[in-house]
Amino acid sequence: MAAGTRSDAKRWYQKQWDPDRAVGDWFALLADSGWGYPSWPTEWFGRSMDRADVRAVREERKKIGALPPPSGIGPSLLAPMLFRHGTDDQMRRFLPAMAWKGETFCQMLSEPEAGSDLAGVTTTATLDGDEWVINGSKIWTSKANEVDYGMLLARTDPDAPKHRGLTFFLVARDQPGIDVRPLRTMTGAASFNQVFFDDARISVNDVIGAPEDGWTVTRTFLALEKNSYNPDAHEGGPFGKVDLDQTCAQLQQREQARRSAAAQGRGAGQLITDLIDKHGHGITELTRARRARLHTWRRVMGYTNQRVRASRRQGNSLPGFEGPMSKLTVSTITREQRDLGLETQGPHGMLADEHGASGQFHHFFLSSPAISIAGGTDEIQRNHLAERILDLPKEPLFDPNSVVVEDKKT
C-alpha cells in the first residue's frame, strides 16, 4: 500500500504546491483533500491511513518542500480523542478550526497535589443550568498563556470514588475567571504555567465523552501522549497562531529563522558529534562504551517500532503496551545522551557557554530530567506495564504503623 500511497502523494504535492499561495488557502486545501492529516478518518478530513502510509506521505511532502499543516496538541491528541469519544457536532466545530485556522490547545490535567496520581484532582465543576462552573487550579500547562482552549479534567461528583465522578471538558481560555501565571524553570525559560479558575464557565456541549466518565477519556489522552508511534505526533508544522494571509514562502522563512539549530536537525545526537569533534581528542574507553550503549538503545527503539508496526498489520498488537515502552525508551536514550555529552566535554561541561554546541547542549542537559517526569514518571510507566500488561501483582501498600523502629542503645 505504501508504494501506491507514495506515488499518489507525490503527484498531488507536485500539482498543488505553490509557495506563493496564501497560508490559509493552503491549510484549507490540505484539509479538504485529506493529505494534511492522512491518518484521520476519511469522513473527517483524512484518508484513514496507517502509520507506514502516513510516513510515506510525509516524506514525499518534505521532498517537495511543501508547508506542513498546523501542528501541536490539537491534531496529535485532541483529534484522535474526538474520534473515539467526541460528538459529530464537536468534530464539526473543532477539527476544521485546528486544521484550517491552526487553533491551539493545551492540557489542563495535573494539579499541585495531583500529578502522577492524576485521579486525585480536586478542581471542581458544578452544573449551573446549561453551563458548568469551574473552580480550582492546574499546573505544568505548556502554552496556557497563548492557546485558544484547554483540555480540562475536573471533579463533578465529590462523593464518588476518585477514579469516578470525573468529567473531561474543553474550556475556552480567554474568558473571565481564568488567570494564567508563568512558571520559570531551571533552564531560565517559562514555558510552563499555573492556571487558576474562579467561576470560569463551560458549555454543557463541551464535555468530551459522558459526564462522570472523564477517567476513560483521560486514559485515552495519556495513551496518546506517551505513544511515540502516534502517527500525528511528529507532524512538524507551525505551532501556534500564524498570519493566514501571508504566503507559504513567507511563513517558511519565518519558521526557519525562529527555530534553533537543534530544532532544524542538529538535535542531541548531532550536538554530541559536534562536541566530540571539539573536545573528544582524549576520548576514554568509558566514553566509547557510553557511545556503544547509546547506539544500542537507538537500535532497540528502531526494532521496537518495527515490531509494533508488524503486530498492527497482523492484528496482534497488545493494547496499552506501546505508550509506556516508548516513553521509557525515550527517557533512557535522553539520559544516555546527557551523560555522554557531559563526559565528552570533560571540565568544559561545567560551563554554560551561550554560543555553539556547548550552549545548546547545556540547555538540553538542564531540560533532560523533564523527559522522565512529564506525561507520567518512569516509575508510573513501569507499574503500568507490570500491573496492566503483564498482570503482575501490585506493590504492597505502605503502612506506616507496621514500621518497627529499632532502639539502638549506646
Burial class of residue 383 (count of CB atoms within 10 Å of its CB; 0-12, 13-18, 19+): middle
Instruction: Count CB neighbours of 72 within 10 A.
Output: 23
All three cell numbers of 352, joined, read: 554554560
Instruction: Count CB neighbours of 157 within 10 A.
Output: 14
Give the C-alpha separation, 223 to 410, whole Å.
54
Helix (H) or strand (E) holding 286: helix 285-314
Does 225 qualify as catalytic in the annotation?
A: yes
All three cell numbers of 205, joined, read: 456541549
C-alpha distances out from residue 53 to 37, 56, 57, Å: 11, 5, 6
Pairing mode, strands 207-208 and 178-183: unpaired
Residue pair 348/371 in contact by the 8 Å Cβ criterion: no
In sign, the C-alpha dihedral spanning 77, 336, 332, 298 is: positive
Query: Which position among 103, 225, 322, 343 bears the catalytic label?
Result: 225
Three-state DSSP class for residue 183:
strand
* DSSP result, 71-84: -SHIIIIIHHHHHH
Three-state DSSP class for residue 244:
coil
**Greatest C-alpha distance within the chain:** 87
Give the C-alpha separation, 330 to 315, whole Å.
25
Residues in the chain: 410
Three-state DSSP class for residue 382:
helix
Amino acid, res. 37? Y
> Annotated catalytic sites, by residue?
225
